């Protein structure tokens, strides 16, 4: 993605204190792996110098081009990419509002891309809860939320774009409250001011969030990241804040506990207490920002607090790289007293971002091109993913006319049409949709060009094969998040060991064979713990020493479709054992699969919710399906039930 920046030195500017005069010096011009797109089209172009390369030059070309386009930690946020449009047609804001309201859209469980057919103010009488896979897209109208704010609670993949928030009243009322356990969030081009508590609060283990091009004003406690010293789980929090304008807000730009925070190309002016504050164990990387003091001259503040699991108080650390301190601003940088708080660099977490020198031109742009923008709503055109991917052969079935009504008729029309196309609980799985192709060129267990090398990488990848044959795995092959392992076009067999999906999300496995796995606890596909949004499609699985597919330890939102299971005993286990009550969250769909004389577990289930439809199970050795502790299954009265009953009659006839 653009130019590599790994060769560049990043200095800890603890001794750097650019107390300049009112004139703004221009440091050397460089990029961190950024593509240079055209300038923004919807702010005042007379304020945009030709010297400035802003991010997101293409996100307004079509409606859904926003999806997965954030820079920084929130870069995977897809919002309602794979859902239909929801048209907000009224400004109702009370708790019991109905169809056509923003609250009605946000409470729905399915993915939605929410747009507005009206402009005006929505008076919220209570927090508006936003569920997962939603884009709240204010482009094309002018929408202001007042009274209360948005609450992103235990949700993921939410994009909030081009809204205004003003006049929130009541205790603990934030404009946008992100807690607990929410992730993959992008807040872009919003105007936020005058709430009684915070403008944006990110706490209680919520992470992977980007805040970009926002305008903050008329407020005291602007952005809080990390709840309090007792919530040590907030060590997981990661936030990027860039190209924002903090316009005379008093403090917290941001205030940080525990988290890793990347600040770049922001303009903060005339604060009342401080610009940014590093408290217990926080790590702030401040890069090419503009800090312009008013009466209070010190930009950075440190507060010592004691983490609940530590014996002594400590503050956080701030690294300043290329920041500009003007109008008599003093950086306030000091060495941290917390030796356990390591410095982090953004390049350890994402490969590219757009960063400009902190110049007068950048300052002008941030004053006029942040916050809500007057612009037309882009057209909603189908986003053609992977336009340059090679074609995938289509394999038409010719066995029976019933095939005409089978699912997934279009998933082979282009390489990436698989993404987001699963039926059932795994319907949101996108795999490596937004990543480049990785070509597997060798059947070796490891090394460049190998499947293992591709699966261990942290960035999204769509993995395809240039070879056919058998890959002998000496150990479990661990698959990281946002991967598609796509065997279409080749014949790939995995043997020896299987795939392990551990603490990952958004993985698609398609058109592979698994056979001959050896060793204790050796499964063909092992999904545990805490993995989700998985789709396993058109795989052949047989003859492993343990299971073929195990789904346990709070892994959920999984679909298994069109797979062939044979020559095996314990086929599919869902739910670990009676002691793992956390498995009550598990949800799995299994459909259009062929259980071909496998002995048992089609599947065996503890705790989970399971939907089985259109499967064919024949000639089992012990049972077809087993429901154990608190499991809940639903079967659709279709081909699967008919064939099971037919098979039962056949067995009785043989016995007679």
Active site residues: 252
Q: Residue 191's closest CA among 169, 209, 167?
A: 167
Separation of alpha carbons 200 and 220, rounded Å? 12
Task: State phi, psi for 442 to the nearest 5 degrees.
Answer: -140, 155
Residues 451, 478 contacting (CB under 8 angstroms)? no
Residues 422, 561 contacting (CB under 8 angstroms)? yes
Q: Under 8 Å CB-to-CB from 325, ≥6 apart: which residues?
A: 17, 18, 19, 20, 291, 293, 299, 331
Task: State phi, psi for 452 to the nearest 5 degrees.
Answer: -65, -40
For every residue of 132-170, DSSP letters joined together read SSEEEE-TTS-EEEEES-EEE-S-EEEEEES-EEEEE-S
Tell me whether the omega of the peptide bond preceding residue 349 falls within 30 degrees of 0, making it cis.
Answer: no
Longest dimension (CA), the chain: 100
Separation of alpha carbons 184 and 4, rounded Å? 24
- SS3 (DSSP) at 22: coil
Residues 146, 102 contacting (CB under 8 angstroms)? no
Residues 402, 453 contacting (CB under 8 angstroms)? no
For every residue of 519-531, DSSP letters joined together read STT--SEEE-SS-
DSSP bridge pairs for 261: 239, 284
Separation of alpha carbons 465 and 459, rounded Å? 18
- CB-count exposure of residue 386 (10 Å: 0-12, 13-18, 19+): middle
For 453, the enclosing helix (H) or strand (E) is: helix 451-456
Q: Residue 349's closest CA among 477, 461, 261, 463?
A: 261
DSSP bridge pairs for 151: 129, 177
């Amino acid at each position: 993605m653009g130019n590599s920046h790994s060769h560049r030195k990043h200095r800890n500017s603890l001794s750097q204190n650019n107390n300049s005069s009112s004139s703004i010096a221009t440091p050397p011009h460089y990029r961190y792996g950024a593509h240079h797109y055209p300038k923004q089209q919807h702010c005042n172009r007379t304020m945009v110098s030709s010297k400035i390369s802003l991010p997101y030059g293409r996100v307004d070309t079509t409606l859904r081009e926003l999806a997965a386009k954030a820079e920084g930690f929130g870069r995977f946020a897809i919002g309602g990419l794979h859902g239909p449009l929801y048209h907000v047609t009224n400004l109702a804001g009370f708790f019991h509002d109905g169809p056509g309201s923003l609250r009605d859209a946000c409470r729905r469980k399915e993915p939605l891309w929410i747009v507005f057919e009206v402009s005006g103010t929505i008076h919220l009488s209570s927090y508006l809860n936003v569920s997962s896979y939603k884009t709240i897209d204010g482009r094309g109208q002018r929408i202001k939320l007042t009274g209360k704010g948005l609450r992103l609670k235990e949700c993921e993949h939410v994009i909030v774009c081009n809204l205004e928030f003003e006049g929130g009243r009541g205790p603990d009322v934030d404009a946008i409250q992100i807690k607990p356990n929410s992730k993959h969030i992008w807040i872009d081009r919003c105007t936020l001011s005058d709430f009684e508590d915070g403008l944006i609060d990110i706490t209680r283990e919520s992470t992977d969030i980007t805040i970009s091009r926002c305008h903050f004003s008329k407020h005291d406690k602007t952005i809080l990241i990390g709840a309090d010293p007792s919530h040590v789980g907030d060590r997981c929090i990661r936030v990027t804040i860039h190209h924002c304008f903090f316009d005379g807000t008093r403090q917290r730009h941001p205030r940080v506990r525990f988290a890793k925070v990347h600040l770049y190309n922001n303009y903060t002016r005339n604060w009342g207490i401080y610009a940014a504050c590093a408290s217990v164990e926080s790590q702030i990387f401040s890069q090419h920002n503009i800090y312009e003091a008013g009466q209070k001259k010190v930009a950075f503040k440190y507060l010592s607090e004691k983490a609940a699991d530590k014996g002594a108080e400590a503050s956080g650390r701030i690294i300043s790289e290329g920041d500009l301190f003007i109008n008599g601003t003093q950086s306030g940088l000091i060495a941290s007293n917390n030796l356990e708080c390591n410095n982090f660099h953004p390049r350890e977490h994402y490969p590219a971002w757009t960063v400009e020198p902190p110049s007068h031109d950048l300052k002008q742009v941030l004053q006029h091109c942040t916050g809500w923008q007057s612009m037309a709503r882009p057209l909603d055109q189908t986003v053609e993913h992977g336009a340059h991917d090679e074609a995938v052969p289509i394999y038409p079935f010719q066995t029976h006319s019933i095939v005409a009504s089978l699912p997934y008729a279009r998933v082979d029309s282009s390489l990436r049409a698989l993404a987001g196309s699963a039926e059932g609980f795994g319907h949101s799985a996108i795999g490596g949709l937004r990543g480049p192709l990785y070509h597997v060129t060798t059947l070796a267990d490891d090394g460049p060009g190998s499947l293992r090398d591709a699966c261990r990488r942290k960035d999204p990848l769509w993995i395809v094969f240039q070879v056919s044959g058998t890959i002998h795995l000496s150990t479990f092959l661990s698959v990281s998040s946002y991967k598609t392992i796509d065997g279409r076009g080749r014949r790939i067999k995995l043997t020896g060991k299987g795939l392990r999906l551990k603490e990952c999300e958004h993985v698609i496995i398609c058109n592979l064979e698994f056979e001959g796995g050896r060793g204790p606890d050796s499964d063909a596909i092992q999904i545990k713990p805490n993995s989700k949004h998985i789709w396993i499609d058109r795989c052949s699985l047989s003859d492993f020493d343990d299971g073929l597919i195990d789904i346990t330890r709070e892994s959920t939102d999984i679909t298994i479709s069109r797979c062939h299971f044979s020559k095996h005993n314990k086929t599919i286990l869902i739910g670990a054992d009676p002691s793992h009550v956390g498995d009550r969250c598990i949800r799995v769909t299994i459909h259009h699969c062929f259980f071909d004389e496998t002995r048992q577990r089609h599947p065996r289930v503890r705790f989970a919710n399971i939907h089985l439809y259109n499967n064919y199970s024949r000639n089992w050795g012990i049972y077809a399906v087993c429901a154990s502790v608190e499991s809940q299954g639903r079967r659709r009265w279709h081909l699967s039930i008919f064939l099971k009953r037919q098979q039962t009659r056949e067995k009785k006839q043989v016995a007679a």
